[in-house]
A and B are shown apart, each in its own frame.
Chain A
Amino acid sequence: MGAILTIQGLTRFFGGLAAVMDLSFQVQSGEILSLIGPNGAGKTTVFNLITGTLLPTQGKVLLKDHEITGLRPYKTTALGVARTFQTTSLFYDETVIDNLIVSYRCRTRMGFWDALIHTSRSRKDERRCRQKAEETLEFIGLMERASELARNIPQESQKRLALGLALVTEPKLLLLDEPMGGLAEEENIGMMAIIQKVRASGITVLLIEHKMKIVMNISDRIIVLNYGQKIAEGLPQEVGRNSAVIEAYLGAGYGEN
């Protein structure tokens, strides 16, 4: 298997504040790795540094053996790293299926002249996009909402669609930023099932999530961040017993009495 993603000494300052400090870890191919930590620990910043939304002050990001540090987001997506955003990001004025169709654009090659002359390549690409969009709809279970506007569907469906937009780009590595934020208890289970299905289809998942019960359940491994630094890494049960983690979450002295 081996590592699909390697982070080496990643550091990012905002002014004098270190949002991420000398962070190193590896994501193993095929696993679900969770990134947890208190608010402001730098989890989302790590995602932004991996995808190129932010440039690191120092450090490297490697996809397999290929350095992708600081590449623009559209390039990292083309190389197979897709992400979702913490605030559910969708093309709200488009229908559900159109959201997915345009997100598959990065895997098609037709250009302006193809569109103008209506070449066979353009027709083929449009058909491929629709087909891929429908497959993804099926996968995320939104088939019956295909022609509704993204802004009009329920929040839980929007969360699924946001995941679908990342998935349709055919990633090898999927970065999920709180895919269950704001969902009700029973809705979590559906989302968890989708994430497990994603992994089963051969896609590696790096997950940020606050709901500990889910994290403990779904993750193969967990990395804990606090103030931009890694304070623990390991299997769920190991991390759950780690005193540094308990201290970060609950404050010093909690375990003693």
Chain B
Amino acid sequence: MNQMVRKWLILTILAIAVIIPLVVTNKYYMNILIMSGIWSIVALSLNLILGYTGQVNLAHGAFFGIGAYASALMMLKLNMNFWLVLPLAAAIAGFFGFLIGLPALRTRGSYFAIGTLCFNIIVTLIVDRWEGLTEGARGLMGIPGPSPIPLPWGAEITFKTMAAQYYLVLCFLLLTIFVLRRIIQSLVGRTFRAIRGNEELAEAVGIQPMRTKILSFTVSCFFAGIGGVLYASYIGFLSPEITDYHVSFDSLIYVMIGGVGTIVGPIIGTLLIVTIPETLHIAAEFRLLLYGLILIVMIIYLPRGIVGWLKSLKERKRKQEVSWEQS
């Protein structure tokens, strides 16, 4: 029964997600939805290392930025095709994750958080100062959108309309969910959670901590890179700010509010935080203030985020039923 409800709920949400562009024609709202999709991918990827493996990575903006810049440079300077650039740029972001993970993941807890934050600042500085490659503060302009996909009989799928961009992002969001779910539910994902639960015990039962953490981190950065590529080709412009730690903290907030260590949590968190301030027309300066407030309230009252809170409600109900049956 429960399984059935779940299945129908997922199908309904999926159907709504597919129908939305047919109903919503307002460009402003479509833009918010596309951005929510991109940030959801970033938040989901952060959740793999943060929520499932228990390592507070504060450099996710850097890996997002590396993916974005790598793709923009390959398309602008080497004239490469978007569909070739996408996996390559994501792999570059993943590779940087691997390299940074090697030293950084040897540290634990707050040391890892501070180490990754420093790395993020370094990346932003390099992007800002290496003008010969990145154009520095002027930014990269005129990044092409996704190349059309040719179909048989001369037809092709283009990505010129908002709706097409939306479907593109939706596809990659679903792909991200699919892949992360596969990993999380496998034995490999169990070892991630073991590291989060108790690293010393995990090693005592034969799990190799470094290898496990580096795998999680690399995959996490790979998908952050995919988010970056989609962002670059959608917006068409990149400046160093898009690599900086604000992006890291934003994605951290999406995950924290939605629910650490859950699959739907980061998506819910992103949707709420991206759409609510936009629809309420709250000025950008106040948005940060609002984030801070929400975060404090969340950490005090809902430390496991919205989804974690719903789960604990369900758990409590189940327990009550059990004690009823017993009495």
Contact = CB atoms under 8 A, between A and B. Distances in A.
B137 interface: no
B201 A77 contact: no
B205 interface: yes
Nearest to A78: B206
Which bucket holds chain B's interface residue count?
Answer: 20 to 34
A85 B204 contact: yes
A129 interface: yes
A204 interface: no
B187 A106 contact: no
B262 interface: no
B183 A115 contact: yes
Interface residues of A, number: 39
A73 B200 CA distance: 9
B218 to A, nearest CB: 9
Interface string B181-199: 0110011111101100110
Contacts of B187: 101-102, 105, 108, 110, 115, 122, 125-126, 129
Given A102-B205, A103-B205, A106-B207, A89 B190 contact: no
Contacts of B79: none
B131 interface: no
Contacts of B209: 74
Contact of B206 (A74, A91, A115): A74
B107 interface: no
B190 A116 contact: no
B201 A89 contact: yes
A113 to B, nearest CB: 10
Contacts of B191: 102, 105
B205 A85 contact: no
A102 B183 CA distance: 14
Main secondary structure of the interface of A (DSSP, over half): helix
A101 B186 contact: no
A105 B197 contact: no
Contact of B205 (A77, A110, A118): A77
A116 B183 contact: yes
A54 to B, nearest CB: 12
Contacts of B194: 91, 102, 105
B182 A116 contact: yes
Contacts of A14: none
Contacts of A169: 205-206
Interface string A151-193: 0000000000000011011000000000000000000000000
B79 to A, nearest CB: 31
A83 interface: yes
A197 to B, nearest CB: 20
Interface in A57-75: 72-74
B179 interface: yes
A93 interface: yes
A93 B205 contact: no
Contacts of A82: 204-205
A74 B208 contact: yes
A115 B182 contact: yes
Given A102-B191, A105-B191, A116-B182, A51 B204 contact: yes
Interface of A: 51, 53, 72-74, 77-78, 82-83, 85, 89-94, 98, 101-103, 105-108, 110-112, 114-116, 118, 122, 125-126, 129, 165-166, 168-169
14 contacts: A51-B204, A77-B205, A77-B206, A85-B200, A85-B204, A89-B198, A98-B190, A102-B205, A106-B207, A112-B219, A115-B182, A125-B187, A129-B187, A169-B205
